[in-house]
Amino acid sequence: MLEDQVSRTALFTAYSRGYHCNYDKPRIFADPLAFSLLSSEERDRIELLLMEVFRAANPVAAALFTDTQSAMGWMMQSGAAASILLSRAQYAEECLEKSLESGVCQYVMLGAGLDSFAFRRPELAEKLELFEIDHPATQAHKRQRLTELGWVQPANLHYVPVDFTRQRLADRLGDSPYDPGLPVFFSWLGVTYYLPREVVLATLREVAKVAKSGSSIVFDYLDREAFEPRKCAPRVQRMLNHVESLGEPMQSGFDPLSLPAEMTSVGLELAENLCPGEIHSRWFLGRSDHYRACEHVHFAHAKIL
């Protein structure tokens, strides 16, 4: 991502969660606070940019829409991004809720972006120490926005700026109230794609180092075929092109078949490795709109050994 500016993709994911919560039924993931985390200028800019992308990709369809809201609906449902980010957020919070039953008392959101969990789920949040880890530029932007909104900061919410490409997660968490002796749940949503592969593996190794045995992490990843233009699904290729144009190119993927061995090599044990078909069955089946699980995207849940 660009060094000194808020992650553009974090703004887009917040927009998509907000759009979905306000205009789609039934909801795959409900985030009624997402739109508030964007200023009205940011929302306008995102809609303008999405309209440009729509017109460039499909001028005939784009000309049929006379209002922004329905054009955005078409973009959300036919594009790749919204279906990925809604279902992975739902998956992570379902896994978090289960892990609370087994005593987890810390939640670390790696690359949190504009995740609203701390404010949106007070009944769960109050049982946890919360750590938002993010690139310094994105985190500073979010904190500024929260100040503008005047939302009361929960005392159990801790912000830890980290650039995964330059800093060690263990060192940075060590400077915070994080307790390595207590069970923890990590989410790492929408981030592995953007980092060099060795940084992804090094960060997972750091997670294994700082987390008590039995703790776990959920993350999403692209398979390697997404990076082969002849095999990549068209809407995923459009997403790759779009994020590259925003200055945040996707660069890393994993082979779902070799992921178990790769997780073992960094001190983790893969407990679940959902493919697009399984993701579709869990969160999309029976919908009457056009949301469907995204080709090439997988969800992993790994335990710390």
Q: In a 3-state reduction of DSSP, which class is residue 222? A: strand
Q: Does residue 113 belong to the site contacting ligand SAM (CB under 6 A)?
A: yes
Q: Which two tokens stand for residue 218?
A: 């959920």
Give the ranges where 24-116 is alpha helix by DSSP (H).
40-57, 59-64, 68-78, 81-101
Q: In a 3-state reduction of DSSP, which class is residue 41? A: helix
Q: Applying CB under 6 A, which of residues 20, 135, 238, 292 lies at the interface with ligand SAM?
A: 135
Q: CA torsion 228→134→256→246, rounded to 10°? A: -20
Q: Does residue 219 belong to the site contacting ligand SAM (CB under 6 A)?
A: no
Question: Which residue of this chain has its Cβ atom nearest to ligand SAM in the complex?
Answer: 113
Q: Does residue 240 belong to the site contacting ligand SAM (CB under 6 A)?
A: no
d(CA 189, CA 163): 15
Comparing CB distances to ligand SAM, the nearer of 162 and 302 is 162
d(CA 97, CA 233): 33
Q: Does residue 72 belong to the site contacting ligand SAM (CB under 6 A)?
A: no
Q: Does residue 79 belong to the site contacting ligand SAM (CB under 6 A)?
A: no
* Contact flags string 9-28 toward ligand SAM, x per CB under 6 A: xx--x---------------
Q: Are 162 and 172 in contact (CB under 8 A)?
A: yes
- In the complex, minimum distance from the CB of residue 98 to ligand SAM, in angstroms, rounded to a whole number: 20
Q: Applying CB under 6 A, which of residues 78, 106, 116, 138 lies at the interface with ligand SAM?
A: 138
Residues that bind ligand SAM (CB under 6 A): 1, 7, 9-10, 13, 85, 111-113, 115, 134-135, 138, 162-165, 189-191, 194-195
